[in-house]
Amino acid sequence: MEHTKNQTVTTGKERFSQLAETLIGSEIIKLSGEIKEKISQGAQIYNFTIGDFDPRIFPIPSQLEEEIINAYREHFTNYPAAEGNADLRGAIAGFVAEKEKLRYAPSEILVASGGRPLIYGFFRTVADKGDKIIYAVPSWNNNHYTHFVEGRHCEIPASAINNFMPAPGDIKPHLKGAVILALCSPQNPTGTTFTREALENICDMVLEENASRKNGEKKLYVLYDQMYWQLTYGDIRHYDPVSLRPAMKNYTVYVDAISKCFAATGVRVGWALGPAAIINKMKAILSHIGAWAPMAEQKGVAKFLRNKEAIETYLDHFKSEISYRLQKIYDGFLTLKGEGLPVDAIAPQAAIYLTIKVDASGSKTADGVLLKDQKDVTSYLLNEAGLAVVPFYAFGAPPDSAWYRLSVGTCKKESIGDMLQALGAALRKLK
């Protein structure tokens, strides 16, 4: 589905830039406001919306915390290098070589304050106004980044059939003329991953497409967001383009960070790996924005990434705790489904997310109020069950999608049973 997203927004008498006037607001922020209001009024809310962590439940690694504190005590409070400090880029190079068998020189690594500025810098580096940008729906924020660069939106609808990962056959017809193919695995919002075969097919298509382009013509680049790659469960394996097809190194930019795998969303240290020519252009763009990771945090992360034992110990416990929550909720949804209630879920694969379904549109409440669309269902879940989850339509899916993202980053294990009981009770009231 290819189109240009523009909407005119009036803000009274004042007019601002076209970008500011047409930028779509965040459904998640809107929902967050409703949740905060209900909590302030004393309501019991099971908040599974935020892609973040409660530090009281999931603190950052103690060794990472100590290294950052020590860096401040050693007065590392000045500007860092624009591309990231040399010691950190060296540590990242060693880390990805050890963990992923990816070989990147420090000159092919760019550090920033988390993944967002790196993604923005990549879009700004590669895409011009009107350029075709391909991304799956649902997916996190690709629609907004495409809007920032005034690109041509080319959305690839994903469905439960493929665990909401974009299928190679659906992507292929749209590759001609595209400059960015934005991929994410493990996927936000779905918590699902590419299979080896699917990603190999996509890589082969990208290589074939680039081989067909004339000299001087823009190439097709893959943005590979692998922010959650260390958080896979059971037999699920993470795959990446360059490991599967080494020739993809010329056309792939990875985005990664400590944000999710070490519960360090607020520490703000992320990195991009890619061809030096692209990395240098991204560096130039971000140097004017000033989106550097803080100096002390860089120093702390540089030391932490070399501490293999601390990393493995932390991840073993962290992944066990996340996996338990995802599986427990998944099992609960299957039990509710077995009762004949209008719910479903996809087995957890990775990240901190569970894909759930509440297909109650068209039902009536106990008071006879019709839930006429999915937004009504979302409100009903919040008001009647105290369950706050993010609908897939907040990630670009059709407005009638009955699927949701459920995040366990702030979930207490003891609240899972109560949440499932409240949800079951609310759904049993529907007619």
Is there a domain that residue 419 lies in? yes
Question: Does residue 252 form part of some domain?
Answer: yes
Q: Which of 369, 166, 211, 335 is nearest to 345 (CA)?
A: 335
Q: Which of 307, 323, 353 is the last residue of a domain?
A: 307
> Looking at the domain assignment, is residue 160 inside a domain?
yes
Could you read off the pLDDT of 339-386 as tens digits, one per residue? 999 999 999 999 999 999 999 999 999 999 999 999 999 999 999 999
Look at the chain and report how many structural domains it folds into: 2
Mind spelling out the 3-state secondary structure of the chain?
Answer: CEECCCCCCCECCECCCHHHHHCCCCHHHHHHHHHHHHHHCCCCCEECCCCCCCCCCCCCCHHHHHHHHHHHHCCCCCCCCCCCCHHHHHHHHHHHHHHHCCCCCHHHEEEECCHHHHHHHHHHHHCCCCCEEEEEECCCCHHHHHHHCCCEEEEEECCHHHCCCCCHHHHHHHCCCEEEEEEECCCCCCCCCCCHHHHHHHHHHHHHHHHCCCCCCCCCEEEEECCCCCCECCCCCCCCHHHHCHHHHHHEEEEEECCCCCCCCCCCCEEEECCHHHHHHHHHHHHHHCCCCCHHHHHHHHHHCCCHHHHHHHHHHHHHHHHHHHHHHHHHHHHHHHCCCCEEECCCCECCEEEEEECCCCCECCCCCECCCHHHHHHHHHHHHCEECEEHHHHCCCCCCCEEEEECCCCCHHHHHHHHHHHHHHHHCCC
Question: By the 8 A CB rule, do 371 and 342 touch?
Answer: no
What is the reported pLDDT for 254?
98
68: in domain: no
Q: What is the pLDDT of residue 1?
A: 60
Residue 374 lies in a domain: yes
Do residues 110 and 214 share a domain? yes
Task: Give the pLDDT of residue 12.
Answer: 58
Same domain, 344 and 285: no
Range of the domain at 31: 2-58+312-424
Residue 87 is encoded by which pair of tokens?
């010691």
In a shared domain, residues 211 and 243: yes
Q: 328 and 282, same structural domain?
A: no
CATH number at residue 145: 3.40.640.10
* 82 and 193 co-located in one domain: yes
Q: Is residue 430 part of a domain?
A: no
> Residue 22: its pLDDT value, please?
84
Q: Is there a single domain that holds both residue 248 and residue 197?
A: yes
- Say yes or no: 227 and 352 in one domain: no
What pLDDT is stored for residue 3 in this prediction? 56
User: What CATH number is associated with residue 385?
Assistant: 3.90.1150.10
Same domain? For 96 and 169 the reply is: yes
> Do residues 120 and 237 share a domain?
yes
Query: Which among 273, 307, 341 is the end of a domain?
Result: 307
Whether residue 64 is contained in a domain is answered as: no
Residues 225 and 329 occupy one common structural domain: no
pLDDT digits (tens, 9 = 90+) for 254-312: 999 999 999 999 999 999 999 999 999 999 999 999 999 999 999 999 999 999 999 99
Tell whether 125 and 254 lie within a shared domain.
yes
Single out the residue in 272, 291, 307 at which a domain terminates. Answer: 307
Q: What is the pLDDT of residue 15?
A: 84
Which residue positions in the chain have pLDDT lower than 50? 8
Q: Is residue 8 part of a domain?
A: yes
How far apart are the C-alpha atoms of 264 and 276, rounded to whole Å? 27
The answer to whether residues 354 and 295 belong to one domain is no
Query: How many other C-beta atoms are found inside a 10 Å radius of the C-beta of residue 315?
Result: 15
